[in-house]
Amino acid sequence: ATRIFSGIQPSGGLTLGNYLGALKRFVQAQDAGTETIYCIVDLHAITVWQDPAKLRHATRELAAGFIAAGIDPARSILFNQSQVPAHAELAWIFNCVARMGWLKRMTQFKDKAGKNAENASVGLFAYPALMAADILAYHATHVPVGEDQKQHLELTRDIAAKFNHDFGVEFFPIVEPVIEGAATRVMSLRDGTKKMSKSDPSDMSRINLTDDADTIAQKLRKARTDPDPLPDSLDGLAERPEARNLVNIYAALADMTPEAVVTQYAGQGFGTFKPALADLAVEKLAPINAEMSRLMQDVTEIDRILGAGAARANAIAQPILEQCYDIVGLVRSR
Ligand code: ATP
Ligand code: MG
């Protein structure tokens, strides 16, 4: 049976990239009737230092974002990672399965650690082993993520395969990445070669789901572009990453193909295209924004939802963890 798992870090506010690359597709999977488990990965967030009060706020706001975007906590399991111990426990097993050389190749570590990798946390280095645990603790079969997580998913497959091989079992499934759609990689508004991130120091680089209409319009107006009008085919955008990014965002928001967008706006300049994109973004994001604010007025209710989700998640993950311990030869006598 298909079981979908995916997660988002409470490392800041949700961005348009998270919405188009992740949330929107999470809702589609849920609405298609698939079993869906969505996790606010707070243990991942602390691989770089987080202010505790901000982390608490971001966790609740992210939960509100999931629900406002259309995740129904009755149909999907929605919870925060640290409330289900199997994630951290299975991650330890996988730290012992994964090889240093595999993790050293991870581009996200290189990007996030920057020049001074000696100073990065051990957790940031081991991040992909925890991500493998998130997925495999549920025997999830499909993982919808943005393009940036592809390498980590390949590592998850490698870890599952090595575990199965080392212990002569067929215990962990080999997961399928689900990376599709016009905007599985939304780029920064300031630099068309860098992905949009909630942790980017520049707020102008991204659109946040909490931005109001004026802010969205202003950020898009100031988004970096070139002076040329839009071409009549996508080939004409090959060397224009910033322009291509805005076309992709438009396409994803409007549920159109990027080809259809350039056909519609062929020959038009950004003076026309940017305001049209701003209107579309406001139209799609304003209802989510309003619902998030409403939900954030009652954090007790949000915490209750996360607790109930964690109990359901635990009921799936704990027996899988116990079986895994047994396979490894760890004595369980409780
Ligand atoms: P951080 O900067 O802290 O890593 P992030 O914005 O990259 O934050 P994550 O929590 O790491 O967000 O990722 C959550 C989900 O959003 C993942 O599925 C990831 O692939 C997706 N995602 C993140 N950024 C983008 C983007 N720019 N375009 C499309 N999908 C994205
Ligand atoms: Mg990220």
Q: Mean per-residue pLDDT for 78-105?
A: 98
Mean pLDDT of the 244-260 span: 96
Contact 67, 78 (CB under 8 A): yes
Q: Which of these CATH numbers, 3.50.50.60, 1.10.1750.10, 1.10.275.30, 1.10.240.10, describes 211-294?
A: 1.10.240.10
Ligand 1: does its nearest atom lie under 6 Å from the Cβ of 25?
Answer: no
CA distance 231 to 263: 8
Pick from 197, 287, 203, 150: nearest CA to 14: 197
| Average pLDDT value for residue range 64-78 | 98
Q: Which fold has domain 3-184+298-328?
A: Rossmann fold (3.40.50)
Task: Calculate mean pLDDT across residues 53-77.
Answer: 98
* Ligand 1 pocket member 195 (CB < 6 A): yes
pLDDT band at 184 (very low <50, low <70, confident <90, very high): confident
C-alpha 266 to ligand 2 mean position (Å)? 33
Atom of ligand 1 nearest to the CA of 187: 27
The Å distance, Cα 20 to ligand 1 centre, comes to 10
What is the best residue among 8, 131, 199, 209 to mutate for testing ligand 1's pocket, by most ligand atoms within 8 Å of CB?
Answer: 8
Provide the token pair at 148. Answer: 């940036």
* Closest residue to atom 19 of ligand 1, CA basis: 146
Whether the CB of 81 sits within 6 Å of ligand 1: no
Q: How confident is the model over 110-134, as pLDDT tens digits?
A: 999 988 899 999 999 999 999 999 9
CA of 182 to the centre of ligand 2 (A): 18
| Contact status, residue 30 vs residue 67, Cβ threshold 8 Å | no
Q: How far is the CA of 62 from the centre of ligand 1 (A)?
A: 13
| Active-site choice (115, 150, 162, 195) | 195
Q: How far is the CA of 326 from the CAs of 104, 129, 332, in angstroms? A: 30, 20, 8
Atom of ligand 1 nearest to the CA of 197: 6
At 178, is the pLDDT very low, low, confident or very high (cuts 50, 70, 90)?
confident
pLDDT at 181 over 80: no
Tell me if residue 198 is catalytic.
yes
The minimum-distance atom of ligand 1 relative to the CA of 196 is: 27
- The mean pLDDT of 195-216, rounded to a whole number, is 96
Is residue 234 within 8 Å of residue 259, measured between CB atoms? yes
First-last CA distance in the chain = 31
Ligand 2: distance of its center to the CA of 257 in Å?
25
What confidence tens digit (pLDDT) does each residue in 143-177 have? 999 899 999 999 999 999 999 999 999 999 999 88
pLDDT at 236 over 80: yes
Q: What is the mean pLDDT of the chain?
A: 96
17 lines ligand 1 (CB under 6 A): yes
Nearest to 180 by CA among 66, 29, 10: 29
Pocket test for ligand 1, best of 18, 80, 203, 210 (most atoms within 8 A of CB): 18
Distance CA 243, CA 110 (A): 27
Q: What pLDDT, in 10s, does the model give residues 289-330?
A: 999 999 999 999 999 999 999 999 999 999 999 999 999 999
pLDDT of residue 64: 98
CA-145 nearest atom, ligand 1:
18
pLDDT at 142 over 80: yes
> Which ligand sits closest to the CA of 198?
1
Q: Side-chain half-sphere of 136: how many Cα atoms within 13 Å?
A: 34
Q: Are 209 and 20 in contact (CB under 8 A)?
A: no
CA of 241: how far to CAs of 56, 193, 209, 248, in Å?
36, 7, 23, 10
Q: Which tokens hold the place of 144?
A: 């919808």
- What is the reported pLDDT for 203? 97
Residues 6+ apart with CB under 8 A from 156: 128, 131, 132, 135, 136, 143, 175
Output the pLDDT for position 294.
98
SS (H, E, C) the chain: CCEEEEEECCCCCCEHHHHHHHHHHHHHHHHCCCEEEEEECHHHHCCCCCCHHHHHHHHHHHHHHHHHHCCCCCCCEEEEHHHCCHHHHHHHHHHCCCCHHHHHCCHHHHHHHCCCHHHCCHHHHHHHHHHHHHHHCCCCCEEECCHHHHHHHHHHHHHHHHHHHHHCCCCCCCCEEECCCCCCCCECCCCCCCECCCCCCCHHHCCECCCCHHHHHHHHHCCCCCCCCCCCCHHHHCCCHHHHHHHHHHHHHHCCCHHHHHHHHCCCCHHHHHHHHHHHHHHHHHHHHHHHHHHCCCHHHHHHHHHHHHHHHHHHHHHHHHHHHHHHCCCCCC
Q: Where does the pLDDT of residue 261 fall: very low under 50, low under 70, confident under 90, or very high at 90 and above?
A: very high
Per residue in 19-59, pLDDT tens?
A: 999 999 999 999 999 999 999 999 999 999 999 999 999 99
Q: Shortest CA distance to 79 belongs to which of 147, 130, 6, 159? A: 6
Q: Ligand 1 pocket, 184 CB below 6 A?
A: yes
112 tagged catalytic: yes
Question: Which pLDDT score, from 0 to 100, does residue 4 have?
Answer: 97
Average pLDDT for residues 62-70, to the nearest whole number? Answer: 98
Percentage above 90 pLDDT, the chain: 95
d(CA 300, CA 41): 19
Domain ranges of the chain: 3-184+298-328, 211-294
